Amino acid sequence: MGFDPTVLLNCQIKLLHLTAMIRRQARERRDYLYRKALLLRDASIAEKRAKLKAALASGKPLDPSIANDAELREDFKYDESLPSKGQGKDDEFMDVDDEYALTSGLVDPRPLVTTSRSPSARLSTFAKEIRLLLPTSIRLNRGNLILPDLVSSANAAALTDMVLLHEHRGTPTAITISHLPHGPTASFSLHNVMLRADIPDSSRGTVSESYPHLIFEGFTTKLGKRVVQILKHLFPPREGGGKLGNRVVTFQNREDAIEVRHHVFVRTGYQDVELAEVGPRMTMRLFEIRGGTLEKNAGGDVEWALTQYTRTSRKKDYL
């Protein structure tokens, strides 16, 4: 058989497309890191100006870090970007992390739900129920795909998030939520996981996939608001018009343990409505938030981690 030049041409075209995609992703990441660096710099300047404002108002000596910074005094009085009196300290820096700013409320998220390799039957069932919990998500049987290939495929398919479930001897033990294409990645341990079949008197039948109401309770700190930001962007915004959803998903923080519940509205009378639990039911505990995605070479910085030295003699709630 003679050599077919068409095969070589097709290989060259695929190689060019792959090279262009890699370059585009690298360019997007550089642009994202540059914008984030600018925001961090602006946040640092805003913090210095806030210290200057407090020192001028109280008549106390200036902080040594800003005492010799003459540039802060030039436009201080007429700077409209300064926080107002009713704005808290945590609110000043909530816009520093803008990973969700471009698509929030405009485009429905498309999370990918998958598991660790060779999942048990119970973990596969849990993944199906998480897929039903997130109305616009899709589920993928991972097979032998490694994480870098999985992330590349998700980016190529324009997916917005990856939800990776882990287990130990058939018991779901952890969930990792990674925002695409640049992060952040939040890791939670799972406790007291109950599937729909395990919940007594749970609502049976087909699970509603309407866009749910979201309830976040007990998240008061800056870290807690960061967790809310990560979790709420797994769900699409409520549908407009007269179509109202008939279910609610609750995330309640109790001493850094996030209780997750899923209910539907059941009409029991002409004007009577009750809540019926659907499942799954679980408790999540945050142990790390870092930049970047799931690959080992993503190069993201650790924003927060629960280490063996984090909890001291006095009990402290971080969320």
Alpha-carbon distance of 276 to 3, in angstroms, equals 67
- Find the mean pLDDT for residues 134-141: 94
In a domain, 224, yes or no: yes
Question: How much is the pLDDT for 301?
Answer: 83
Alpha-carbon distance of 101 to 106, in angstroms, equals 10
- Confidence check: pLDDT of 65 > 80: no
Residue bearing the bigger pLDDT, 188 or 67:
188
| Same domain, yes or no: 279 and 234 | yes
Worst-scoring range by mean pLDDT, 88-92, 171-175, 221-225, 266-270?
Answer: 88-92
- With a threshold of 0.95, does the pTM exceed it? no
| Same domain, yes or no: 139 and 49 | no
Domain boundary among 38, 59, 91: 91
- Confidence check: pLDDT of 302 > 60: yes
- Confidence check: pLDDT of 180 > 80: yes
Highest mean pLDDT among 9-23, 124-138, 257-271: 124-138
Tell me if the bond preceding 172 is cis, omega within 30° of 0. Answer: no
Q: What percent of the chain has pLDDT over 70?
A: 80
| Same domain, yes or no: 57 and 199 | no
| Same domain, yes or no: 216 and 275 | yes
Confidence class for position 262, pLDDT limits 50, 70, 90: very high
Residue bearing the bigger pLDDT, 80 or 317:
317
In a domain, 99, yes or no: no
Domain boundary among 56, 91, 126: 91
C-alpha distances in Å from residue 211, one per residue of 125, 135, 249: 22, 6, 10
| Same domain, yes or no: 29 and 158 | no
With contact defined as beta carbons under 8 Å apart, do 276 and 264 qualify?
yes
- Find the mean pLDDT for residues 279-294: 92
Number of domains in the chain: 2
Structural domain boundaries enclosing 173: 111-305
| Same domain, yes or no: 36 and 153 | no
Write out pLDDT tens, residues 68-103: 665 655 555 445 444 544 454 444 444 445 678 777
Q: What percent of the chain has pLDDT over 90?
A: 39
Question: How much is the pLDDT for 74?
Answer: 58
Structure tokens at 126: 């849990």
In a domain, 270, yes or no: yes
Residue with tokens 């596969």: 124
Domain boundary among 91, 126, 146: 91
Question: Domain holding 218: CATH number?
Answer: 3.40.50.10480
| Same domain, yes or no: 126 and 245 | yes
Structure tokens at 204: 């049976």
Question: How much is the pLDDT for 78?
Answer: 46
Average pLDDT over the chain reads: 81
Structure tokens at 275: 């809540």
| Same domain, yes or no: 115 and 245 | yes
| Same domain, yes or no: 194 and 266 | yes
Residue with tokens 């497309």: 17
